[in-house]
Structures are given as structure tokens and as C-alpha cells.
């Protein structure tokens, strides 16, 4: 099977795939979507409350209130990860807890905790971005590409 | 003695003179808790890493089994062991503590029966006595190596399985009381092209079926001779597929005599975390050496076939889009007091 050309499934394998598929429980996709919507929405609503709290009680504008709001959400997410609760919520909430900034914080905190046993340099430092690293790399890269396109359009006399 | 293509028959019938099983906190909440020798309330076992905890469990299981057999460490002539961690470190370190001649094995979750089969061969051929066969797995150590960090919030599909935290050890001797190992069928690697590591049961089912049919073909025997046939860790999904596949191949095993260790070890109340069932080296080892052998000693079962199933993948092979090669080894155990 290591030969790339042979990777196509044999008839026996294809037969087994359909045999097994018929006996596997399906992922409850619709239910997962609804739960993710509710969980993600709740986190965002909660974030809005935090943002309003900063707006009303401190000297923040709508734009600058974003940073402390995110910081609070990250801290809550990291605490829940450290207490061993976040992964249980995530099994239920799915993308609802993975997509917001809380999921990003969880991926870094969980990896840092996991690899603490390998020391601070090679463990915590080296491995804490093992899941979040690709988000940062491709996030920065796509931002660069978008900025490039925008610059070119502007130079060509666009708006 | 080879019979047929891939089955060893042991005319001297090596005896399982003692066994020991150690489990973690999650196993302690399961229906088989009574069958463990030691249950730990702490997943860390007081160690500073999950890997060290796994090693500790294996060492404990070895110590208890040796004690139960009335032996001393020096009496152990060979130690056959394997686990799931990279370079099978838990086994190597336990062998260091034991100080006996050691053979490290890797058959993923099939290691329990791989070591028992090889140990029986050693004892049966009079190449050694007091052979310790063991294996171990730890939920968090396995998650860390094969999947994501333990606290990472990833949603698992309903086909996913839960790695058992547990160690199982059996000591084989040429004489004495105890259940006898009468035959073993060494499995072939079967790959049906399944690539989803969250569906191990579905990947391993054909390997289990291949070994079970080979066992009965080689011995010209019928499943009716057995009181129980237990697969290792197929879980709900794989077990159903295996049962249907066996029917398709014309091998009818009565439903009440066919079970899966991955289904026995956890209860209904643990279902939401376990999903499709238990898995890991410790799954078939703890259930077979604890629950099933206890039932044999009570006289409830006379002859059983344990078919430990293993998925021979690594995180690397999965990331490189390879399919999952699987294997199963079957060992037939008889107890006639």
C-alpha cells in the first residue's frame, strides 16, 4: 500500500468499506451544528457582556474594549482547561468552543500543560504551539496575501 | 506444534499459574472493578508524568503476579512484554526492574495475546519456566502520543474508543494448578484500507475475523466447543461488523458466547465518555486476566478463546495518509479443575 499507484482500493476493500459503513453510527451532523451554534453564540454573547462592562466602567471606546475582552475570555478558557473541564464541554459543543478565541487559548494551554513533563525548553516552549502554530502561520500568510492584493488594487487606482 | 497454517497446539499445556491486573480511576467506576487486583484513584499514580505512571502500573502488576504465584523475582526465567508508547519504554523499564531475560514485543493492542502465545511456546517446548507475559496501556499517555493533548477540546465521533488505563500480567509455568493454554493462532496483518484513526473497531474487525476463521479451520474445530469467544477491543462498532462478517463467512457463533473486552470493561453510565468502547493493550489484558480467568476459576467457563486485536498504525503513518494495517492473535485457554 506504500506504493502511491497502488493506493486505489481493491474490490475486496471497497466491498468491506460499504459493508462497514452500513454498520457504523453516523456523526450527528445536524445536532452538532445546532449545539455548536448555541455554544459558540453563548460565548460571543458572554464576550459582549464583558465588552460592555469595560465600556461602561472604564475609559474604553468600542474599538479599544476588544483587547481586554479577549484577554478575559482567554484567561477563563485557560482556567477551564487547567481544571480539566474544557475538553468535556468541547465534546458536547464541538466547533462552538473550538472556533472562538477560547478554542485557540485551549489548544495552547493544553499543549503547554501536556508537555510540561519534557521540561520548559523542549516541552512547554517547544510544543505549546504544536496545534496553534499552523493557525498562526496560515493566518499571517493569508493576511499577507490579502494585503498584497489590496495594495496592488490601490496602486492601480482602485478605491 | 504447528497445526494447519498458523496455529500452535501445545501438547504440554502450559498453565497460567497466576495473573495480576491493575486499573485506573475510570476502570474503577466500571462493572469489572471487582476483578482488578489494584485500582488507582489517581491517574498519575503519584508520579510526575503519565508515562511514568504507566511504567509503575506494569511494575506493580508484575510484582503482584509473582507474589500470587508464590515465586521470587529471581525465579522468573523470561519476561515478554509490550505496550503502546514509542520504543515500548514502559516494558523496557519494567524489565529493568524485574531483571529477567526480556523480549520486547509490539503488536499494539494485540500484545496481550501475542505475549501469551509466545510465552506458551517457550514453556511448552521446555525452553523456560515461569515466563511472565504482560502488557500495559494508559489513557492519557496514549492520547498524548496518538491524538491530541489530554485537555484539548476536540470533539470525538461516535466511532471513537477510550484507551484503557490498566496493566495485565500472566505467569506461565509447566505445572501446577490453573487454567491451561491449549492453542494459539498467530494472525496475519489485514488492511482493508480504513484510514480513520477514530474508527479502530471498523479497521480491526476484518483482522479478528481472519484470525478466528483461521483458528477453527486449522484446528478443524467448531465455535460450539467454546463457552466464550472474546475479541480484544473492537468496541460497539467493530464488534457488530465482526459478528456480521463471521456470519457472512458461514461461521456462526452463538450470540451469548461471543463478546468483546472493550464492551465488558465499561458500563452504560460511562458511555458518553467511552463512546464506542474500550481499547488499548490494557483492555484485553485486564479483562482476560481478571474478569474472564476469574469466571473460569469459579467454574462458569471451561474453555475460552481470547482474540486480541491490534491496529498497527502510528501518528506519522496516519498523517502520511496511510491506511491502518491490523492484526489479531487468538489464544485458547481451558480450565478443567
If you write DSSP's letter for every residue of B159-208 in order, what string do you get? T--EE--EEEEEEEESSSSS-EEEEEEPPPPB------TT-HHHHHHHHH
Nearest to B266 by CA among B132, B164, B151: B164
Confirm whether A146 is domain-assigned.
yes
Nearest to B157 among A27, A114, A115 (CB): A27
B138 and B119 within one domain: yes
Residue that is last in its domain, among B135, B152, B173: B173
Nearest to A25 among B152, B158, B244 (CB): B158
Nearest to B30 by CA among B146, B173, B188, B139: B139
B160 and B296 within one domain: no
A61 and A37 within one domain: yes
Q: What share of chain A is helix, strand, coil (3-state, %, to 5)?
A: 75, 0, 25
Confirm whether A15 is domain-assigned.
no
Q: Are A72 and A49 in contact (CB under 8 A)?
A: no
Its domain, for residue B281, covers 180-334
pLDDT tens per residue, range B88-139? 999 999 999 999 999 999 999 999 999 999 999 999 999 999 999 999 999 9
Average pLDDT over residues B244-257: 93
B267 and B158 within one domain: no
Confirm whether A13 is domain-assigned.
no
If one counts the domains in chain B, the total is 2
A95 and A72 within one domain: yes
Q: What are the residues of chain B with a beta carbon less than 8 Å away from any beta carbon of chain A?
A: 48-51, 144, 148-159, 191-194, 199, 202, 205-206, 236-237, 240-241, 244-245, 273, 276, 322-323, 325
A77 and A119 within one domain: yes
Dig out the grid coordinates for B77 from the structure: 526465567
β partners of residue B168: B21, B135
Q: Are B324 and B199 in contact (CB under 8 A)?
A: no
Q: Are B235 and B260 in contact (CB under 8 A)?
A: yes
If one counts the domains in chain A, the total is 2
Confirm whether A91 is domain-assigned.
yes
Confirm whether A6 is domain-assigned.
no
Report the 10 Å Cβ neighbour count for B173.
21
pLDDT tens per residue, range B16-60? 999 999 999 999 999 999 999 999 999 999 999 999 999 999 999
Nearest to B289 by CA among B245, B337, B230, B211: B230
List of chain B residues whose C-beta atoms are within 8 Å of the C-beta of residue A109:
151
Residue B136: the pLDDT is 97
Q: Are B117 and B8 in contact (CB under 8 A)?
A: yes
* Longest Cα–Cα distance in chain B: 52
Contact assignment for A20 to B194 by CB distance below 8 Å: yes
Q: Are A125 and A101 in contact (CB under 8 A)?
A: no
Residue B336: the pLDDT is 87
Q: Cβ contacts of residue A123 below 8 Å, gap of 6+? A: A115, A116, A117
Axis-axis angle for helices A86-93, A29-57 (nearest 10): 120
| Kind plus residue range of the DSSP H or E element containing B308 | strand B303-311
Contact assignment for B244 to A19 by CB distance below 8 Å: yes
Distance from CA of B67 to the nearest CA of A (A): 32
- Residue B125 maps to which CATH number? 3.40.47.40
A124 and A48 within one domain: yes
List of chain A residues whose C-beta atoms are within 8 Å of the C-beta of residue B236:
25
A111 and A50 within one domain: yes
CA–CA distance, A23 with A129 (Å, rounded to integer): 38
A78 and A154 within one domain: no
β partners of residue B136: B83, B167
pTM above 0.90, yes or no: yes
A136 and A58 within one domain: no
A115 and A146 within one domain: no
B161 and B64 within one domain: yes
CA–CA distance, B107 with B101 (Å, rounded to integer): 20
List of chain A residues whose C-beta atoms are within 8 Å of the C-beta of residue B240:
23
β partners of residue B252: none
pLDDT band at B176 (very low <50, low <70, confident <90, very high): confident
B118 and B90 within one domain: yes
List of chain B residues whose C-beta atoms are within 8 Å of the C-beta of residue A9:
193
Distance from CA of A122 to the nearest CA of B (A): 15
Contact assignment for A110 to B191 by CB distance below 8 Å: no
Residue that is last in its domain, among B173, B199, B228: B173
Which of B55, B142, B151 is best to mutate for the A interface (most A CBs within 10 A)? B151
Query: Which pLDDT tens digits describe chain A residue by residue (159 residues)?
Result: 455 545 688 999 999 999 999 999 989 999 999 999 999 999 999 999 999 999 999 999 989 999 999 999 999 999 999 999 999 999 999 999 998 899 999 999 999 999 999 999 999 999 999 999 999 999 999 999 999 999 999 999 866
State the Cα angle at A130 between A46 and B48, rounded to 5°. 95
CA–CA distance, B83 with B60 (Å, rounded to integer): 15
Nearest to B314 by CA among B328, B303, B324, B306: B324
Q: Cβ contacts of residue B47 below 8 Å, gap of 6+? A: B53, B56
Its domain, for residue A105, covers 29-128
A43 and A117 within one domain: yes
Distance from CA of A32 to the nearest CA of B (A): 10
Confirm whether A19 is domain-assigned.
no
B150 and B272 within one domain: no
B25 and B153 within one domain: yes
B104 and B63 within one domain: yes
Amino acid at each position: 500500500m506504500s506504493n502511491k499507484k497502488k493506493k486505489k482500493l481493491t474490490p475486496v476493500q471497497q466491498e468491506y468499506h460499504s459493508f462497514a459503513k452500513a454498520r457504523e453510527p453516523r456523526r450527528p451532523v445536524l445536532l452538532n451544528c445546532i449545539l455548536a451554534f448555541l455554544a459558540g453564540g453563548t460565548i460571543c454573547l458572554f464576550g459582549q457582556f464583558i465588552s460592555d462592562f469595560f465600556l461602561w466602567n472604564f475609559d474604553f471606546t468600542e474599538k479599544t474594549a476588544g483587547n481586554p475582552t479577549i484577554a478575559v475570555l482567554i484567561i477563563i478558557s485557560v482556567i477551564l482547561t487547567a481544571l480539566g473541564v474544557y475538553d468535556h464541554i468541547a465534546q458536547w459543543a464541538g466547533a462552538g468552543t473550538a472556533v472562538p478565541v477560547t478554542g485557540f487559548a485551549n489548544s495552547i494551554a493544553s499543549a503547554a500543560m501536556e508537555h510540561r513533563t519534557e521540561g520548559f525548553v523542549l516541552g512547554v516552549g517547544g510544543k505549546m504551539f504544536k496545534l496553534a502554530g499552523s493557525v498562526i502561520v496560515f493566518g499571517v500568510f493569508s493576511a499577507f496575501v490579502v494585503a498584497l492584493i489590496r495594495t496592488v488594487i490601490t496602486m492601480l487606482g482602485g478605491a | 506444534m504447528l497445526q494447519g497454517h498458523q496455529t500452535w497446539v501445545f501438547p504440554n499445556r502450559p498453565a497460567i499459574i497466576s495473573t495480576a491486573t491493575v486499573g485506573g480511576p475510570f476502570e474503577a467506576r466500571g462493572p469489572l472493578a471487582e476483578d482488578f487486583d489494584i485500582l488507582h484513584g489517581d491517574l498519575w499514580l503519584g508520579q510526575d508524568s503519565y508515562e511514568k505512571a504507566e511504567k509503575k502500573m506494569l511494575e506493580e502488576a508484575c510484582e503482584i503476579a509473582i507474589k500470587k504465584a508464590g515465586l521470587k523475582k529471581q525465579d522468573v526465567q523470561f519476561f515478554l512484554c509490550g505496550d503502546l508508547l514509542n520504543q515500548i519504554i514502559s516494558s523496557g523499564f519494567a524489565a529493568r526492574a524485574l531483571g529477567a531475560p526480556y523480549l520486547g514485543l509490539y503488536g499494539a493492542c494485540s500484545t496481550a495475546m501475542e505475549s501469551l502465545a509466545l510465552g506458551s511456546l517457550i514453556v511448552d517446548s521446555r525452553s523456560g519456566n515461569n515466563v511472565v507475559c504482560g502488557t500495559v496501556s494508559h489513557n492519557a499517555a496514549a492520547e498524548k502520543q496518538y491524538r491530541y493533548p489530554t485537555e484539548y477540546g476536540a470533539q470525538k465521533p461516535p466511532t471513537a474508543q477510550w484507551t484503557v488505563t490498566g496493566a495485565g500480567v500472566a505467569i506461565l509455568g509447566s505445572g501446577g494448578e490453573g487454567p491451561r493454554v491449549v492453542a494459539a493462532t498467530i494472525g496475519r496483518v489485514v488492511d482493508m484500507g480504513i484510514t480513520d484513526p477514530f474508527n479502530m473497531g471498523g479497521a480491526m474487525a476484518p483482522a479478528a475475523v481472519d484470525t478466528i476463521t483461521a483458528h477453527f479451520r486449522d484446528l478443524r474445530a467448531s465455535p460450539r466447543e467454546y463457552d466464550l469467544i472474546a475479541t480484544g477491543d473492537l468496541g460497539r462498532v467493530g464488534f457488530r461488523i465482526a459478528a456480521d462478517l463471521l456470519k457472512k463467512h458461514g461461521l456462526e457463533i452463538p450470540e451469548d458466547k461471543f463478546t468483546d473486552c472493550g464492551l465488558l470493561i465499561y458500563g452504560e453510565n460511562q458511555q458518553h465518555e467511552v463512546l464506542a468502547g474500550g481499547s488499548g493493550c490494557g483492555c484485553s489484558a485486564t479483562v482476560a486476566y481478571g474478569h474472564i480467568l476469574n469466571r473460569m476459576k469459579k467454574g462458569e467457563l471451561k474453555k475460552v478463546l481470547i482474540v486480541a486485536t491490534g491496529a498497527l498504525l502510528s501518528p506519522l503513518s496516519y498523517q502520511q495518509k496511510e491506511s491502518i494495517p491490523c492484526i489479531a492473535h487468538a489464544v485458547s485457554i481451558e480450565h478443567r479443575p
